Every structure is written in structure tokens, then in C-alpha cells.
Amino acid sequence: MLRISNSVELADWEIELNAIRAQGAGGQNVNKVASAIHLRFDINRSSLPPFYKERLLALGDQRITQDGVVIIKAQRFRTQEQNREDALARLRELIREAVKQRRARKPTRPTRSAKRKRVDAKTRKGKTKALRGKVTE
């Protein structure tokens, strides 16, 4: 069971975990031990509430495929157990971030002094650049 929040949990059958060989340097250990974890989670087939599914599918995250499958590869640690925990924690964090309520941005306008300062800075910069021209004798 993966607990997302107080009311939302994912069953073990919804998350597919496969052990694979890790990439990169590490010598003989990397070449013979399958310590990395490949996590697959199908959003559409899951028992998540519809609101969670909509928000996850609307995310522009590269870990979510066109079919709505979350793929996470965890290979940060040397042991399979630590990588499994890391993959599940990353999935939990992805789901929590997707359903967080964002505060609506209130459009604001620059103040009169801010506009004046911007224009003054532009004219000062322009004068400096004008002095960089060729010297005529």
C-alpha cells in the first residue's frame, strides 16, 4: 500500500516494479546486480479519484507517457530496496504535486515610478552606447 494522503491510497497491484541493471560507472557490481528499479503506474487503470487522474494527465511531465503511464527509473542507491523506496517516494511526490491547489495570480500593473525608472535606465544605457562610436578628428 502506498499512502498518498489521508483518504487516498494505492494498492500494490496498481504499481508495477521491475528490477533492472543500473547504468553508469560502478565496476563489476553494476554489471552483475539488478539494483535499479523501473516503476510503471497506469493512471487510467488506477483507483485514484477522478480529480487526481485529471490533474495527473494534464501535467506536462516527461515521466508520463501519451497513454497515461507514469514511468520512473530509480538507480540512485546501491541496493534494490533503497531504490524501490526512492521510486515509490518519487511517485507519491509526483501525485501530491499534481493535486496541489495553486493560488490564482492577481494581475498587477507597474507603478508610475517603476515605469519612469525603466525608461531612465534605457536612456542612460543608450547614451553610454552612443559614446562608443568611432572617434572623428
How high is the pLDDT of residue 88?
92
Strand spans (E) along 51-96: 69-74
The rounded distance, in Å, linking the Cα atoms of 67 and 17 is 18
Q: Are 39 and 71 in contact (CB under 8 A)?
A: yes
Task: Tell me the whole-structure pTM to 2 decimals.
Answer: 0.69
Is the confidence at residue 32, as pLDDT, over 80?
Answer: no
Q: Are 64 and 43 in contact (CB under 8 A)?
A: yes
Q: What angle do CA 95, 14, 31 make, to 5 degrees?
A: 90
Return the H-helix or E-strand segment holding 66.
Answer: none
54-80: string of b/e by CB count within 10 Å (b at 16+)? ebbeeeeeeebeeeeebebbbbebeeb
How high is the pLDDT of residue 30?
66
| Segment 34-65, tens digit of pLDDT | 888 999 998 888 888 888 888 888 888 888 88
